[in-house]
A = this chain, B = another copy of it.
Amino acid sequence: MSEKTSTRGRPRAFDRTAALDAATRVFWQKGFTATSMNDLCEAMGIGSPSLYAAFGSKEQLYTEAIRHYGAQGAPQLCDALESAPTAKLGVEAFLRFSARSLACPAGPSGCMVVLSAVASEGVAGLADMIVEERKRSLKMIEARLQRGIKEGDLSRETKVKALARFFVTVQQGMSIQARDGASSKELDGVAAMAMGAWPGGRR
């Protein structure tokens, strides 16, 4: 972001994005508080002075890691929700994509943002930022439901806010499930069950 790309001086010996990616993984796995500078330096393959020079502090690195994390998965998640023809299919795609990605062996299980619920506590500034980040999911679902009403595939008397909160709750619960070892298939079962709550009957 506000990164100086000066041409003068000794060039940086590491790939900043790769280092950020490594840091993101560690934070994702262990949470902010439980992750030490040692953990970070080791995972990123750099010394602490380089870390401070490139990212400012542990806290700033964490916020950047959150953004980095969101920049990877969020677009697909948004797309799943938005590009489906109906609101119901959109939400279903949203849940099923979550089911698949939250238990993906390629990364730590569960959503980094959702699981940061507790870990970021005690640092004050970070907690608010995380809460705000989570509320974006809620707003996103709400907007999709509203669109569904406007486009006629969802009844006008649908309780949009309650329904949106329900689906977000399910998705956040899936993060806990994933961390506890639930498989993608099991999470997909949860997604399918949740769709049974869609207003206007099953089938």
Interface residues of A (CB under 8 A from B): 29-31, 33-35, 110, 114-119, 121-122, 131, 134-135, 159, 161-163, 165-166, 168-177, 179-182, 186, 189-190, 192-199, 201-202
Q: For the complex formed, measure the closest distance between the CB of A52 and the CB atoms of chain B, giving whole angstroms.
A: 23
User: Ordered nearest first, which 3 A-B pairs have the shortest CB separation?
Assistant: A173-B173, A169-B173, A196-B197
Report the Cα distance A35→B122, complex, angstroms.
8
Q: Bound complex: CA of A31 vs CA of B117, how far in Å?
A: 10
Kindly report how many copies of this chain are found in the complex they form together: 2
Most chain B CB inside 10 Å of its own CB: which residue of A159, A171, A177: A177
**Bound CA–CA A4/B158 (angstroms):** 59
| Most B-side CB within 10 Å, residue of A118, A163, A177, A195 | A118
Contacts of A175 in B (CB 8 A): 117, 176
Inter-chain contact A193/B166, CB cutoff 8 Å? yes
Q: Are B116 and A30 in contact (CB under 8 A)?
A: no
Other-chain residue from B114, B121, B135, B196 in contact with A30 (beta carbon distance below 8 A): B121
**B189 near A162 (CB under 8 angstroms)?**
yes
- Chain B residues, Cβ within 8 Å of A161: 189
Given A34-B33, A118-B118, A121-B31, A165:B179 Cβ within 8 A? no
Q: Give 27 CB contacts A-B under 8 Å.
A: A29-B121, A30-B121, A31-B119, A31-B121, A33-B119, A35-B122, A114-B176, A115-B118, A117-B117, A131-B179, A134-B176, A161-B189, A162-B189, A162-B190, A165-B182, A165-B190, A165-B193, A166-B193, A169-B173, A169-B177, A172-B172, A172-B176, A175-B176, A194-B194, A195-B197, A196-B197, A196-B198
